[in-house]
Amino acid sequence: MKSEELADYIEDFLDYLLNVRGYSDATVETYEIALRQMAEVSHFYEDDGVWVLDITPFRFKIVKNSKKTIVKKLSAVRSLAKYLEDQRHLKLKIISDESIKAPQSLPKPIEEKYIEEVLQRATIEEKLLVSMLYGLGLRISELSGLRLEDIRAGWVEIRGKGNKVRQLPLLDSLQTLLRAYLANKKPKKYLFEKGNVPMNSAQLRYKLTKLFKESGLKATPHQLRHSFATHLLNHGARIADVSELLGHKTMATTQVYTKLGSVKKMQEYMRAHPLADVKHQPSEE
């Protein structure tokens, strides 16, 4: 995150509004409040000669503001972007500038603590199944067809939709689990196989749902993929990186996950803030 560069650009922009455009002190102060709030949480980085301003965390932060306030704050960000393009000649792209609408059919992410509880009581095969889906955000079909030769040197090569290939890094803990699983199960060609053929999606899905059901939870492979994306974004990951990890064609597909975390974040804020009134906590419905 290039926070210092962004802060400098904001200072220059505010000086420009005041001294060149002749904006009033009050108006400039309004811009300043919105832009400093944005800069505190957003990601600003260079990617292939293009500067990217990812304001996804900022959208989380202002999600409960009035519509009028959100419009004003986003307008300030767009004005800054126009200044950087026109006056500073930067190639700039803003992520999460548009309205985000999540389909109502999206499953709720599974809370991290519940996933951890399930992993503690799982067999080594079940543990690897959950860890591959949740730790890498894989589709169940991708995991079903995963070959041993696709796993090497801390990376795994995934063939996704449209035969699109992506490289995913393996966490140290996942590498340790993989080594233990391979030594125990000794698969020949596929990571999950039965009788020298890969387990199909239905077989893997059954194992997963049965495991979670034993803990009193309903879970699907796709729900773990949603949880992977949502938890990464909630912990500050850049939406561009999450999009690449998921194998999405465009970041617009990934942006639906930003809506999933907004209510959860507000609930946590309402519980934690000393001035919060628990009677007015937002509902997840």
- Catalytic positions, please? 139, 161, 222, 225, 248, 257
Whether the CB-CB separation of 56 and 95 falls below 8 Å is answered with yes
How would you label 171-209 residue by residue, b for 16+ Cβ within 10 Å and e otherwise? eeebeebbeebeeeeebeebbbbeeeebbebeebbebbb
Whether the CB-CB separation of 194 and 144 falls below 8 Å is answered with no
**CA dist., res. 98 & res. 277, Å (int):** 31
Helix-then-strand count for the chain, H and E: 13, 8
- SS3 (DSSP) at 271: helix
Nearest C-alpha neighbor of 1 from the set 236, 250, 242, 257: 236
Q: Which residues contact 19 (CB under 8 A, 6 or more apart)?
A: none
Whether the CB-CB separation of 58 and 103 falls below 8 Å is answered with no
DSSP for 97-157, please give it.
Answer: -S-----TTPPPPPPHHHHHHHHHH--HHHHHHHHHHHHH---HHHHHT-BGGGEETTEEE
Nearest C-alpha neighbor of 79 from the set 16, 24, 141, 133: 16
**CA dist., res. 283 & res. 213, Å (int):** 25
